[in-house]
Amino acid sequence: MQRALEMLTKLGVPIAIVAHDAGSANHISAWFANSMTTTVYGSFGGPAKDIFGRQCPWITSAHFNELVPQCRTLISGTGWSSAFEHEARKLAKQLGFHSIAVIDHWTNYRARFVRDGEEILPDEIWVTDEYAKGLAELEFPKIQVVQLENSYLESLVGEVREHDHSKIASCEGNILYVLEPIRQAWLGSGLSGEFQALEFFIANLDALRLDGIPSIRLRPHPSDTAGKYDQWIESQKGLKISLDVSSSLAESIAWADVVVGCHTYAMVVALAAGRRVISSIPPWAPPCVLPQAGILKLADLVR
């Protein structure tokens, strides 16, 4: 946590945090949850509202149009779901304030800063691992890229280990399948990518080499609508499949012996917590984008 605290204390204050999607919001809130900096204000939309409400309830919130002009530093997320963070960066650029953007994944870096053909780049980029740092430096050679510790990941792994103490050993194997929306229909199939991956996973369960019939839980993505997977679960006869109802991702991972998914960040958490992690992306689809070497590919196991 030391590196993040040092960086936060060097920033010009007041600081404005503008966040919408969960990825960046989780990282930013984890850094500020342990910070003594009080001159911080927030403008939150989407999942970020609940995340900061839990992690940093002391941060006063207002619309970024009112907030940013009163501050000297902007820290923004880089989500896809809205133009919320993009517009805040645009305003900070117009006002000449220092702008920092937090990247939480390993794909589409340039596109994160473009809306309706307009590119607004920050003055500085923060990431949480060496893979992201290397990618960002290649994509943006004129922008300073800073790697901070992944406080969010460290916190989640700690929670998983706390739940591990009360875990009942599984004889047959518990599989947690972490879902994510992939709307692209690979190979022109009528099925979206996420359901193609699910079908590929079920068709090749034997490749996991588990004893007996495993218990499978599907953990929906925060953006999934209620009931989205009910029909698919009902169609899987002879298998023990249910929707995960755990109160937290850490609790879900603690239950599991194996964690499967396409390339959601939850798989990175599971790997760091010592779980066997497998990508279910089929061989005819674009490859898994997660750079961690410990993540296995189901397509390779099938071969």
What string of pLDDT tens digits covers the 303 residues of the chain?
A: 467 878 888 899 999 999 999 899 999 999 999 777 779 999 999 989 999 999 999 998 899 999 899 999 999 999 988 899 999 999 999 999 999 999 999 999 999 999 999 999 999 999 999 999 999 999 999 999 999 999 999 999 999 999 986 665 555 589 999 999 888 889 877 899 999 999 999 999 999 998 888 999 999 987 789 999 999 999 998 899 999 999 999 999 999 999 999 999 999 999 999 999 999 999 999 999 999 999 999 999 997
Environment class of residue 300 by beta-carbon count within 10 Å: exposed (0-12), middle (13-18) or buried (19+)? exposed
Tokens standing for residue 280:
């279910």
Predicted pLDDT at 171: 55
Residue listed under structure tokens 């879900």:
252
Asked whether residue 25 falls in the same domain as residue 106, the answer is yes
Is 160 contained in some domain? Answer: no
Helices (H), 126-279: 130-139, 151-164, 193-203, 230-235, 249-255, 265-272
| Cα 175-46-71 angle, rounded to 5 deg | 130
Predicted pLDDT at 170: 57
Is 101 contained in some domain? Answer: yes
Asked whether residue 177 falls in the same domain as residue 140, the answer is no
Asked whether residue 251 falls in the same domain as residue 135, the answer is no
Asked whether residue 118 falls in the same domain as residue 179, the answer is no
| Cα 45-49-55 angle, rounded to 5 deg | 145
Judge whether 188 and 167 are in contact, CB under 8 Å. Answer: no
C-alpha to C-alpha distance for 287 and 303, rounded to whole angstroms:
15
C-alpha to C-alpha distance for 53 and 44, rounded to whole angstroms:
10
Is 193 contained in some domain? Answer: yes
Q: Which domain holds residue 121?
A: 2-149
Is 155 contained in some domain? Answer: no
Asked whether residue 22 falls in the same domain as residue 52, the answer is yes
Asked whether residue 137 falls in the same domain as residue 226, the answer is no
CATH assignment of the domain containing 275: 3.40.50
Helices (H), the chain: 2-10, 22-33, 47-55, 64-67, 84-95, 130-139, 151-164, 193-203, 230-235, 249-255, 265-272, 298-302
Is 235 contained in some domain? Answer: yes
* Structural domains counted in the chain: 2
Domain end (from 149, 178, 199): 149
DSSP character at residue 18:
E
Asked whether residue 114 falls in the same domain as residue 17, the answer is yes
Is 298 contained in some domain? Answer: yes
| Cα 159-223-292 angle, rounded to 5 deg | 55
Buried b (16+ CB within 10 A) or exposed e, 138-170: ebbeeeebebbbbbbbebbbebbeebeeeeeeb
Asked whether residue 63 falls in the same domain as residue 136, the answer is yes
Asked whether residue 84 falls in the same domain as residue 198, the answer is no
| Cα 43-49-52 angle, rounded to 5 deg | 90
Is 158 contained in some domain? Answer: no
Residues 35-64: pLDDT tens digits?
A: 777 799 999 999 899 999 999 999 988 999
Asked whether residue 175 falls in the same domain as residue 291, the answer is yes
